[in-house]
Every structure is written in structure tokens, then in C-alpha cells.
């Protein structure tokens, strides 16, 4: 409106402005959830107390988890159209795309009472750090005993109670689903576990093939990728070889093509079992025909995470060698060992192979040795005793010992130790037995004996080294020798080997047995004959065959008898020899 001069009047301008609908805008919105936000109106409000009623806040297109009751709305001093919104960042902890909207239709201008039209809005994106409870919820949803889960990216992974890989009777039946992201966005699920160990999990995807992918990585290195739409869960199993903290990530990455399926991926049944390494000291033992082994000392376990309760027992275990045969540093395995403790399910037992010796079983083969008469050698005759009871049952009947040579320790008469010098052992090819022979076996080498009959006899001394006892007996008999063509009495004379004597054994009933040592391997004996003269002699070692040209007269205890040519004069027997020229 104008006056007569054509100038506008204030009333007319205000009337015009009052016809313009109320508008508003949010100001000072940062890139993250604001602590304080200004709300500017185009005109003073008639009913400022209705601002709260017109405000709505959604996150990811949902009001779930949003509570505006704690929002503080106050007018800015010295302004009739500006208000402060304080505490907006405390109205939700849901991460994602935030949209704050004000319905202007619930507000009116102060001057005209004209209501507003439409809405004003402000949008921002905020990802709050997951709380310990939210992280635990992720772990529980995938049935994981390891709880160090987290999420990052443009949208967090969330618990899904409608899609899962759990068995029908499982409780609860849940999985985790990647967050809703736009083109070029990503949603990351992570789990930190201590290595090394073994991981398994189930996953599936419902997304645009090739463009959108769900990738699994270890410490940033992609291990497997799936894409496209699948109704079936795929099970993945793989070793985690690194030592120390290992960062496992499942990343849904969205491309720039039209959406397909539900534009997400799922993960469930995450099972990680850290290796719990056990070592033991295997016990050496003696061969017993079995593979049974044992240990000394305690089991030594390592790999336990601080705060976990885990141990190991071999109460139901068995230690075993690979083969039963003797040997050094033979491998020993432990089977049947079990993890114990409240956190045992989080670990996978890995038992190191031990080493131990199986030493040969010592066998002592006993034997008996036969007594013998002195023969100038150490040769001995032995009979082995049964050593089968010393063998393990499976070897009885297969191990045999044969003796090739046994000997006295010395050839002289007496009680002598006997040893096995040479033997053959069969059935011990693996060396499972250390076979020795008894070292305390003794037998007697008896003196040779020369018999002096009762009464008079003609004797050739066939022994050396008469025993003291025999010499005393000899000295007590009447002994004569033919020397210098006459018979001479021998008193206290030590007889020499090969000498001939007339001997009178005074005992009328018992022969005399002289003890001494024979000579062996003597040359053939012949008498030292003198033409047309009598010679008293006889063979000491071997029988003498009478030749044609010699007369040999021997005493038979009563008379002299002629031994015919070709007949034998026995060793140790003296006779009269006559050679006629």
C-alpha cells in the first residue's frame, strides 16, 4: 500500500509479509552428530512450545533407538526467531544416516497465526563406537567364544534374527548382517584373535554379482571373496598361521550398479580355536616287544591367553612308539590327551612328538660245562640252558643261540672258568636283545691218571708233574730201575717222564692211581735197544707195536709173557726188550 504521494506504509508491508508461509532452517550442523544446533525461523512464532512436537529424528530411515525427550530447546537471547537445540547427540546411539526434520505445519506465525507449510530438514552421518554390549551381541549372534568384535566403514554390521545358519534347535538363532551402504560404500566386521589357530565360519551374500563383493581378509590380505545372490550358506575353514594378534575382517563393498538381492552379506557360526601346544619328555625304556611308551615329568603347555582357564590332561591318553624295535631317539606320540578348563572350547590341542630310546633287553644265556681230563688244550664242551623265559612272549621260539667254541681259561688241571668264544645268534636281526653268556660257569680239568696195580708191576712213567700227594704215594712204594745193567732201588727219586720201573704196590687190595699230566703229540716211540742185551723200557704215550726182530717180555702180574710181533705193548707198561744181532 502507498500514500497519496505514492510511498509505502508499514502496515501495508506487514500485511504483505504475513501472507508468506512460515519457513525455517537448521544452522551450524557439523559433519558429525551436533552437540548444539541452531534453528532459524523466518518470523516470530506464536507457539514456540510446539517445536518439539514437530521434530522427528530417524537413523537409516528408522526411528528405532531414537528418543528426543531429552532434547533441550531454548530461545537465543535477544532474538525472537532463533532457537538452540541442545543434546541432540544424546538422543540416539544408532549409527548411520541421521535425518532431522521439522514439520512446519504444527507452528504458526506470531503476527498472523498463519501456519507453516512443508518441512525443513538436516542430514548427517554418524557412526558411534560400538559399546561393549554391542560388541558382545555380535559375538553371541555368530556363536563365537572370542568376543573382540567390532565394526567400521560407512555402516555397521548388525544382528539379524531372521537369517541364520544355526541348527533348528539352537538358541538363539541369529547371524550378523552387513550395514546398509550406498554406492561406493563399505561395511566392515572385524574380529581380533591370537594366532596361530584354526578358523571356520559360514557366510552367504545377496548382492550384485561382480560389482558388489563380500571379502574375508587376514591382516588386510584378502583370502576369499563371494558375490551374487545365494540361498545356501558356505562353510569356510582355514588355518591362521600368524603369531600374536590377527585381525580378521569381513567387508561388504558396494559398487556402482543397480542393486540386486538384499544388498548385504551375512556371517554366522564363527569358530576360532587357538592352538594350545603341549610338549612332554618321553621316557626311555627297555625293549619289551610292544610300542607302549611313557613320559617323565609333567606335561608342558603353552599358548594360553591371559585370563583364560585352560590346561591339558593325559589321563585317558596313550603314549606310543611307531615300532617296537630298539633304537635311539625314536619318535613318541601322545594320543587321547584332552584340554581342560572353562575356556577349553576356545583352543585346539596340538601335541608335539617326543623322542626316547628303546634299549636292547639284556639276556644272559646260562650253560653248563663238562669236566674233562687234562688234554693240553682249553677246549671245553658246554650245554646251553633254556633262556626262553627271558625273551618277550612274541619272540619266544624265534631267537636261538648256537655255540661254536667254548674254552677253559687255562689248559692246566684245576677248577677253571669256562667262557663262550664263538656263537651264532639267529632271530635277533633288529638287535632287540643284548645277548651275553654267564661268566661264572666253572668246570674241572682233571689230572691224568696212571694206575699202579697191586703187587709187582713193570711201569713206564707216562705222567709229568705228579701232584704232591701222588709223589708221596710213589715214594712210599718199592721202586727199582734197571740202570748200569743192574736193578737199583729208587728211594725218594722223582720219576721222569718215560722212565721204566719195577714197582711194588704193598696194598693187597687197592690199585694206586697216580695223578699228573700226560704229554700229548709225542713222536713215535722206539726202545733204545742194545745188541745181545736186555733193556727195560716201554712206551709212555702211545701203544707200541712189536716188530719182527725184537723179543718183548712183559710181566702179567704172575709171570713174564712174550708179546708176539705185531701185537701191542700198551702205553705206560714196561717190558724187557732183547735184540739179538
Secondary structure letter of residue 484 according to DSSP: T
The Cα angle at residue 537 between residues 531 and 538, in degrees rounded to 5 = 125
pLDDT of residue 260: 86
CA distance 438 to 421: 12
pLDDT of residue 13: 47
pLDDT of residue 566: 95
Q: What global pTM score does this model have?
A: 0.69
Beta bridge partners of 563: 552
CA distance 416 to 443: 6
CA distance 311 to 303: 10
Cα dihedral: 156, 160, 165, 168 (round 10) = 160
Q: Does domain 132-274 have CATH number 2.60.120.200?
A: yes
Q: Where in the chain is the domain with CATH 2.60.120.200?
A: 132-274
Q: Which residue has the cell 512436537?
A: 53
In 446-555, alpha helices (H): 468-475
Do 414 and 397 meet the contact criterion of CB atoms below 8 Å apart?
Answer: no
Please give, one letter per residue, the 3-state secondary structure of 204-237: EEECCCCCCEEEEEECCEEEEEECCECCCCEEEE
Which tens digit of pLDDT belongs to each residue from 336-381? 999 999 999 999 999 999 999 999 999 999 999 999 999 999 999 9
Cell numbers that stand for 306 in this block? 591371559
CATH number for domain 10-126, candidates 2.60.40.1220, 3.30.420.40, 1.10.10.60, 2.60.40.1170: 2.60.40.1220
Q: Where in the chain is the domain with CATH 2.60.40.1220?
A: 10-126
pLDDT in tens, the chain (581 residues): 445 545 545 555 455 556 788 889 988 765 555 667 889 999 998 888 899 999 999 988 899 889 998 899 999 999 988 999 988 888 888 777 889 999 999 998 888 888 888 999 988 887 788 999 999 999 999 999 999 999 999 889 999 999 999 998 888 899 999 998 889 999 999 999 999 999 999 999 999 998 999 999 999 999 999 999 999 999 999 999 999 999 999 999 999 888 889 999 999 999 999 999 999 999 999 999 999 999 999 999 999 999 999 999 999 999 999 999 999 999 999 999 999 999 999 999 999 999 999 999 999 999 999 999 999 999 999 999 999 999 999 999 999 999 999 999 999 999 999 999 999 999 999 999 999 999 999 999 999 999 999 999 999 999 999 999 999 999 989 999 998 888 999 988 889 999 999 999 988 789 999 999 999 988 889 999 888 889 999 999 999 999 998 999 999 989 999 999 999 999 999 999 998 76
Beta bridge partners of 319: 293, 334
Q: Is 379 helix (H, G, I), strand (E, B) or coil?
A: strand
Do 347 and 369 meet the contact criterion of CB atoms below 8 Å apart?
Answer: no
CA pseudo-torsion sign 314, 317, 320, 322: negative
Amino acid at each position: 500500500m502507498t500514500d497519496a504521494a505514492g510511498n509505502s506504509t508499514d502496515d501495508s508491508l506487514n500485511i504483505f509479509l504475513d501472507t508468506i508461509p512460515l519457513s525455517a532452517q537448521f544452522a551450524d550442523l557439523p559433519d558429525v552428530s551436533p552437540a548444539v544446533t541452531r534453528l532459524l525461523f523466518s518470523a516470530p512464532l506464536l507457539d514456540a512450545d510446539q517445536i518439539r512436537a514437530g521434530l522427528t529424528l530417524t537413523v537409516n530411515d528408522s526411528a528405532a533407538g531414537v528418543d528426543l525427550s531429552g532434547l533441550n530447546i531454548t530461545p537465543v537471547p535477544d532474538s525472537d526467531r532463533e532457537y538452540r537445540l541442545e543434546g541432540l547427540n544424546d538422543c540416539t546411539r544408532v549409527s548411520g544416516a541421521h535425518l532431522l526434520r521439522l514439520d512446519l505445519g504444527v507452528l504458526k506465525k506470531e503476527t498472523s497465526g498463519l501456519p507453516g507449510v512443508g518441512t525443513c530438514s538436516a542430514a548427517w552421518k554418524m557412526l558411534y563406537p560400538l559399546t561393549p554390549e554391542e560388541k558382545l551381541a555380535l559375538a553371541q549372534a555368530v556363536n563365537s567364544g572370542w568376543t573382540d568384535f567390532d565394526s567400521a566403514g560407512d555402516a555397521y554390521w548388525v544382528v539379524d534374527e531372521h537369517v541364520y545358519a544355526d541348527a533348528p534347535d539352537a538358541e538363539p538363532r541369529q547371524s550378523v548382517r552387513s550395514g546398509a551402504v550406498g554406492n561406493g560404500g563399505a561395511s566392515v566386521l572385524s574380529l581380533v584373535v591370537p594366532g596361530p589357530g584354526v578358523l571356520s565360519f559360514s557366510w552367504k551374500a545377496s548382492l550384485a554379482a561382480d560389482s558388489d563383493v563380500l571379502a574375508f581378509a587376514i591382516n588386510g590380505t584378502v583370502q576369499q571373496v563371494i558375490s551374487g545372490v545365494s540361498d545356501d550358506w558356505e562353510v569356510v575353514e582355514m588355518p591362521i598361521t600368524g603369531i600374536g594378534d590377527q585381525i580378521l575382517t569381513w567387508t561388504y563393498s558396494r559398487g556402482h550398479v543397480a542393486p540386486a538381492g538384499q544388498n548385504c552379506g551375512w556371517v554366522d557360526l564363527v569358530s576360532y580355536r587357538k592352538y594350545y601346544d603341549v610338549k612332554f619328555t618321553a621316557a626311555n625304556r627297555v625293549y619289551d616287544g610292544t610300542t607302549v611308551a611313557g613320559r617323565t615329568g609333567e606335561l608342558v603347555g603353552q599358548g594360553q591367553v591371559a585370563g583364560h582357564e585352560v590346561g591339558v590332561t593325559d589321563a585317558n591318553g596313550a603314549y606310543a612308539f611307531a615300532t617296537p624295535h630298539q633304537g635311539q631317539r625314536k619318535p613318541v606320540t601322545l594320543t587321547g590327551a584332552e584340554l581342560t578348563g572353562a575356556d577349553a572350547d576356545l583352543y585346539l590341542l596340538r601335541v608335539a612328538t617326543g623322542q626316547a630310546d628303546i634299549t636292547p633287553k639284556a639276556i644272559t644265556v646260562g650253560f653248563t660245562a663238562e669236566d674233562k681230563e687234562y688234554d693240553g688244550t682249553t677246549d671245553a664242551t658246554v650245554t646251553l640252558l633254556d633262556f626262553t623265559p627271558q625273551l618277550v612272549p612274541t619272540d619266544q621260539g624265534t631267537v636261538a643261540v648256537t655255540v661254536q667254541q667254548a674254552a677253559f681259561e687255562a689248559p692246566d688241571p684245576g677248577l677253571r672258568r669256562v667262557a663262550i668264544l664263538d656263537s651264532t645268534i639267529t632271530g635277533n636281526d633288529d638287535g632287540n636283545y643284548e645277548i651275553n653268556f654267564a661268566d661264572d660257569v666253572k668246570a674241572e680239568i682233571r689230572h691224568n691218571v696212571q694206575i699202579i696195580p697191586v703187587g709187582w708191576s713193570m711201569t713206564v712213567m707216562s705222567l709229568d708233574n705228579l701232584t704232591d700227594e701222588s709223589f708221596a704215594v710213589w715214594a712210599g712204594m718199592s721202586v727199582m730201575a734197571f740202570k748200569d745193567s743192574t736193578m737199583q732201588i729208587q728211594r725218594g727219586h722223582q720219576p721222569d717222564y718215560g722212565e721204566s720201573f719195577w714197582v711194588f704196590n704193598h696194598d693187597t687190595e687197592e690199585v694206586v692211581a697216580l695223578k699228573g699230566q700226560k704229554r700229548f703229540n709225542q713222536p713215535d716211540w722206539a726202545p733204545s735197544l742194545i745188541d745181545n742185551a736186555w733193556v727195560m723200557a716201554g712206551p709212555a704215550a702211545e701203544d707200541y707195536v712189536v716188530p719182527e726182530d725184537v723179543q718183548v717180555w712183559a710181566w702179567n702180574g704172575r709171570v713174564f709173557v712174550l708179546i708176539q710181533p705185531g701185537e701191542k705193548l700198551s702205553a705206560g707198561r714196561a717190558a724187557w726188550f732183547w735184540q739179538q744181532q
